[in-house]
Structure 1
Amino acid sequence: MLDPVAVLLHALVVLVHSTLFMFLTAKFTKWSAGWNMGLVVSVLEEDAEDGQGIYGSDALSLSAWYRKGLEKRDVWMMLMFLVFALAMRMPCLYSKCSESWSGNGVLYTGLYVGLICVGNVLKWVACVVCYHTMIVRLGF
């Protein structure tokens, strides 16, 4: 027979962990949208005063200003890329690709890293498209 106190304690632990996981995932996707849009701003923007680019905290604050009012769209986009990244990693994590007993560890690791790079390029292309839609929306 199951001990009701142990079941209740286990349910409470699962509830706390799942709430914390959802909160941290939401924060990560929001920050990831800011970082990736900051990267796009630092590549595509040019400072009018000295002709140099915009970097670091200036790029992050400018991207935050551009994204104002579009946070929900950016969070959903980054959440989609997070799920895509996890889905691309799962087969390799599940089959333990990098273990040397398979004999193809280097091949699998190269494929794994290649999928990560393709995912990052797709994410940055999507951020560039969002950047251009924001510029058009703001009338620049």
Structure 2
Amino acid sequence: MKGSEMENTHMMLEQKLLEDNLAMPNQKLEVLDILKAAPTIFFKNFSFIIFLLFISLPLFFFMVYYEIFLQRTLTNILEQSHSHDLEYHRWSVVTSEVTTELRTTFSHQLVQLGFLYLVPFHLLELCTVIVTVDLASKIYAEDRPILTLKEMLYKPIYGARIRGTFITSFYVILLSTCNLLGLVWLATSYHVFWRTSDLQVPFLLFYGPVFIALLLKYLEWSAVWNVSIVISVLEGTFGVRAMALSARFNRGNERRGLLLMAVFFVWGLDLRLPCLYFRCYEGEIMGIVAQVGLFCLGNVLKWVACMLYFYDCKKQTLEKKVDVEAGREIKVVDA
């Protein structure tokens, strides 16, 4: 029964892709098209909205605590750093002071923050992602809001597919964390050099382009990583194979993937910066609640957009495959 239901869904999605190929040959969905289509899928089924709100509650409550802890820690580190007059110290002394300060005062908070980010945050987000992508794909495949709230509540989620998605997400977390640590290291290193060196302009000319290049690569790779998770949820392929398949679909679409991820990156950044500036974590809890609520909404739309982006990239790959096979048949006939 499980295999039959999964096969039927897969066949419906493949049929929709083929119909899209016939209706709109060689046309790609641009980033704006994907961003317009994602809310349409999300809001076309009221039961889908209610179910996602229910599923997202654990992530929402955890993120309220996480954001308060994160913003308080970041503010404390910045204030402690600016409290010292470092202008006339040598770089080696400053580096020692900053390292000692972080190790003695903030090491426990940083370890706790890293644990919260790597374990409970990603596990709760993964649960939301699996449900979001699975249900949104079925609404997209049927092209009509047929799923009721009762059907969503009693819909089984297969253990093998969850395990595969977890394996893929482990690879994604490992790669994305390494990239983020590189960005943090560059920003921290520049901050130390900028405050202590007379060669501010050369350091800025070096660290600025390197930081921007690494950030752009992170956004471009994020599209590949997120699509690999979508592939694991929808097709059961996981791990390195899912990431390789995602990279294949993303080939030639790097710019679209980068822009799509940049939109949601800026969305999250714009939500967090005002709360940091106005210190919402000190008492204005409603500011944090509003920020987290909008973040969760953006997160759902991001994964619906990733699902649409995956299907469009797959459609383009199928078109190329059909064109190649048609070219071979023509050559055979002519021969």
Tell me which interval the TM-score lies in, with the shorter structure as reference length: 0.7 to 0.9
* Matched letter for residue 87 of structure 1: D
Identity of aligned residues (%): 39
CA deviation map 1:95-119 (0-9, x unaligned)? 11111xx3x33x3333222222212
CA distance in 1, matches of 2:315, 2:256: 16
1:19 positional shift:
1.2
Bigger RCO (CA 8 Å, 6+ sep): 2
Aligned mate of 2:310, from 97, 116, 131: 131
- TM-score (ref. length: structure 2): 0.35
Asked if 1:9 corresponds to 2:199, the answer is yes
Length, aligned pairs only: 124
Aligned to 1:42: 232
CA distance in 1, matches of 2:255, 2:305: 15
4+ residue segments displaced more than 4 Å: none
CA deviation map 1:1-51 (0-9, x unaligned)? xxxxx9971111221221122112112102211111111111111xxxxxx
CA distance in 1, matches of 2:212, 2:314: 31
CA distance in 2, matches of 1:136, 1:91: 40
What secondary structure, in the 3-state scheme, does the structure 2 residue paired with 1:139 have? helix
Aligned mate of 2:248, from 44, 65, 71: 65
What secondary structure, in the 3-state scheme, does the structure 1 residue paired with 2:281 have? coil
1:138 positional shift:
2.2
Aligned to 1:3: none
CA distance in 2, matches of 1:7, 1:41: 48
Aligned mate of 2:217, from 3, 24, 27: 27
Aligned to 1:110: 289
Structure 1 alignment gaps of length 5 or more: 1-5, 46-52
* Matched letter for residue 109 of structure 1: I
* Matched letter for residue 221 of structure 2: W
CA distance in 2, matches of 1:8, 1:93: 30
- Larger helix share, 1 or 2: 2
CA deviation map 1:55-79 (0-9, x unaligned)? 2222111111111111111112112
What secondary structure, in the 3-state scheme, does the structure 1 residue paired with 2:259 have? helix
CA distance in 1, matches of 2:316, 2:274: 40
Correspondence list, 1:64-83, <5 A: 64-83=247-266
What secondary structure, in the 3-state scheme, does the structure 1 residue paired with 2:252 have? coil
Aligned mate of 2:273, from 90, 103, 108: 90
Aligned to 1:122: 301
CA distance in 1, matches of 2:204, 2:318: 48
Q: CA RMSD in A?
A: 2.1
